[in-house]
Structure 1
Amino acid sequence: MSIETKKSGETPDIWERPAGEVSLGDVDAYDYALPPELIAETPAARREHSRLLVYKRAGESLTHTRFDGIGDHLRPGDLLIFNDTQVVPARLEAFKETGGRVELLALEVERPAGEHRWSSPADGELRLRCMTRSSKPLRPGMTLTVRAGDDAHPVKLLEVSPGRALVAIAWPGSALAFLERFGRIPLPPYIEQRRRESQEDVAVDDRVRYQTVLASEPGAVAAPTAGLHFSKALLQELEKQGVQRATLTLTVGPGTFKPVTTDTLDAHPMHAEAYRIPEGLKAKVEECKARGGRVIAVGTTSARALEAEARHADPLVPGWRQTDIFLRPGDPLKMCDGLITNFHLPRSTLLALVTAFVGYPAVRRIYNEAVAGGYRFYSYGDSSLLL
């Protein structure tokens, strides 16, 4: 099923600057040119039918396969660790009394007792902290209207700051119920922009496909996209093969979309995200290591949580924590033996994370090969297995 590629020297070089002319601390080192047609607007017809590029450090081999062939490169006793966060339909289209459009992105629920629960009742009033976008400034006291079909509901602005607002909504149910009624899935901005520009009908149910089959903990505003390639059937096949799995929760926030605008990685203010280590994960990781298995993070979000824990004196203690860890060259991965991840934006912190794992020459080779092979990039695109 797998086919060994030709040597990397025969592929075109997509990188903006030669490897010898950049420092790995410079953002320019992670800049490459991607043909626009390789940016995926929609997922593969079936989750497991996306393509998979496998890189193995031993022998520095590159192999092309389909994602449902991933089992050929895993071993009994390996442990896949998934992020079970659930993307909420957090994007709301609202309108001023004048008809002006306002976009709200719900980030968290504010409760009087300081609780933050997406699925608990709102006790009559729901308060959401949101990111905002509008053509003209918003003011406290304004009432906006959100709509879903013929249904409309008022939203009052309580506090306003540039790009942010606290809103109040008369609502007896949960925040999740409100967003399910009036919101839509917050796809990455580049997908929405490309769909608007193409003006074509997209036959994709994003509420299903921009969600992993293991999603169970509401709160994220972006999907852990490496997990999108796994179907329930593929998980069952891997389980029969002896590949084990576990989950953690990292609530993917809007910082995942934040571009690097500085010249150096050191100057970039890294965003923080909340994550939860569940009961039993510590034992599973320790058992995997003891039997000679590999701990393989499914996605950079899982890797981020695991590597944050690896730097604690007593790692993987159950509970919720926050991390602003910035993994990059010079800060190697300590807990993860493998990484499943999509192909990332140029000049991004995620590309720096991948480089921390496999090294800079390998990253350049992998991305050159992916472009030469016509792989689809970014959130709805194809994937890689890095070992």
Structure 2
Amino acid sequence: MKTSDFYYELPEELIAQHPVENRIDSRLMVLDKETGQIEHKHFRDILNYLQEGDTLVLNDTRVIPARLFGSRQGKEEKVEFLLLKRMEDDQWETLVKPGKKARIGNIIEFGNGILVGEITSIGEDGTRIIKFKYDGIFEEILDKLGEMPLPPYITERLEDRERYQTVYSKNPGSAAAPTAGLHFSKELLKEIKSKGINIAYLTLHVGLGTFRPVKVENILEHHMHSEYYELSKDDADIINKTKENGGRVISVGTTSTRTLETIATDSGKLMESCGWTDIFIYPGYKFKIVDALITNFHLPESTLMMLVSAFSTKDIILNAYDIAVMEKYRFFSFGDAMFIK
């Protein structure tokens, strides 16, 4: 199976540069994963497709201001760091631009020395490990110095940081938002609960996999980077009971999907769990627990395109994307949504 099998043409003007004013006003494509039948709705209409006894599974990770700008000690040039994964002893895995400014042993200063880091190692994929030194609380320093790590295809400035957070974000640690959840408002979630639909939460801190394109032509040679996840016993019980009672497990986003499919046994059972996942879902994968999926429109040739193709078929998904382009849907992080049922 080739990476190029998941390519589609996307006009640049359809890449959403900012969120819609009201979260639930995004458009919603409803797709039957078996037949390919399509309906065009708005996200507020999702309520009509959810049934009593279903469970929505939401990723409650919170994006940290993970983009930092510093300079080598004694130099003036800017070096950009994107914090990806927290490690032990105040060390972080990072992406760096330009990489040649961050060699092992280089000392980097941020905010006139409020935060200082040393490059301790370089990964095979070009990532850098930086060890920080500081006085005070790291999260408070990061909140003061850091910027929201918007994807590179978003070139407009985001005025309100909270628009790149879900309304239910809770656990800080992500380098990118679980964007399918950006369409929910607190009011819509209340309406969903009042209809007898369960809501369960898990946490997956979105990391390097979101930023790394597939660089190999044979997708079987692609390696996913690991991301940290947690699922509580209470939330596992909610999802297990849903399956036992014949309800649907509706995953909000590819991050929730990957976490659920990592934890689930072959019989579709969940238990309290935490750890690291590098699961790579592509066509041919047999889903163990997820029955329906709410997701955004993804980049061509990305692992996310491969995941949604596995949930339906490659031909059905690519046809739906061609229609989305014709109908001028908005794409990617701040774009419109798809409900695959």
Aligned to 2:219: 265
Aligned to 1:184: 147
Counterpart CA distance in 1 for 2:197 and 2:7 is 36
CA separation of 1:224 and 1:154: change in aligned 2, threshold 3 A:
closer
The 5 A counterparts of 1:104-253 are 104-112=81-89, 126-134=90-98, 136-147=100-111, 153-161=114-122, 162-173=126-137, 175-191=138-154, 194-195=155-156, 202=157, 204-205=159-160, 207-253=161-207
Matched, 1:32 2:38: no
SS in 1 for 2:293: strand
Cα deviations by residue, 1:316-347 (Å, 9 ceiling, x for unpaired): 22131222111111112221110000000001
Counterpart CA distance in 2 for 1:26 and 1:135 is 30
Alpha-carbon shift at residue 169 of structure 1 (Å)? 2.1
Counterpart CA distance in 2 for 1:110 and 1:361 is 41
Aligned to 1:52: 28
Whether the aligned pair in 1 keeps the contact of 2:260 and 2:290 (CA below 8 Å) is: yes
Paired letter, 2:49: H
Alpha-carbon shift at residue 101 of structure 1 (Å)? 0.6
Alpha-carbon shift at residue 104 of structure 1 (Å)? 1.3
Corresponding pairs, count: 337
Aligned to 2:47: 71
Alpha-carbon shift at residue 315 of structure 1 (Å)? 4.2
Counterpart CA distance in 2 for 1:154 and 1:233 is 40
Unaligned segments of structure 2, at least 5 residues: none
Alpha-carbon shift at residue 385 of structure 1 (Å)? 0.4
CA separation of 1:56 and 1:136: change in aligned 2, threshold 3 A:
closer
Alpha-carbon shift at residue 57 of structure 1 (Å)? 3.7
Alpha-carbon shift at residue 239 of structure 1 (Å)? 1.1
The 5 A counterparts of 1:354-365 are 354-365=308-319
Unaligned segments of structure 1, at least 5 residues: 1-24, 113-125, 196-201
Counterpart CA distance in 2 for 1:135 and 1:291 is 53
Counterpart CA distance in 1 for 2:226 and 2:267 is 20
Q: 1:103 aligns with which of 80, 98, 109?
A: 80
- Select between 138-147 and 261-270 the one with higher mean Cα deviation: 138-147
Alpha-carbon shift at residue 312 of structure 1 (Å)? 5.6
Whether the aligned pair in 1 keeps the contact of 2:8 and 2:318 (CA below 8 Å) is: no
- Select between 131-140 and 57-66 the one with higher mean Cα deviation: 131-140
Percent identical pairs in the alignment equals 39
Alpha-carbon shift at residue 127 of structure 1 (Å)? 4.3
SS in 2 for 1:281: helix
Counterpart CA distance in 2 for 1:203 and 1:108 is 23
Alpha-carbon shift at residue 32 of structure 1 (Å)? 0.7
Cα deviations by residue, 1:153-209 (Å, 9 ceiling, x for unpaired): 241315142541323222221x22121111011111221xx33xxxxxx4631x201
Q: 2:56 aligns with which of 59, 64, 80?
A: 80
Aligned to 2:328: 374
Counterpart CA distance in 1 for 2:299 and 2:310 is 16
Cα deviations by residue, 1:240-272 (Å, 9 ceiling, x for unpaired): 112211001111112221101111111111222
Alpha-carbon shift at residue 131 of structure 1 (Å)? 2.6
CA separation of 1:251 and 1:135: change in aligned 2, threshold 3 A:
closer
Paired letter, 1:81: V
SS in 2 for 1:339: strand
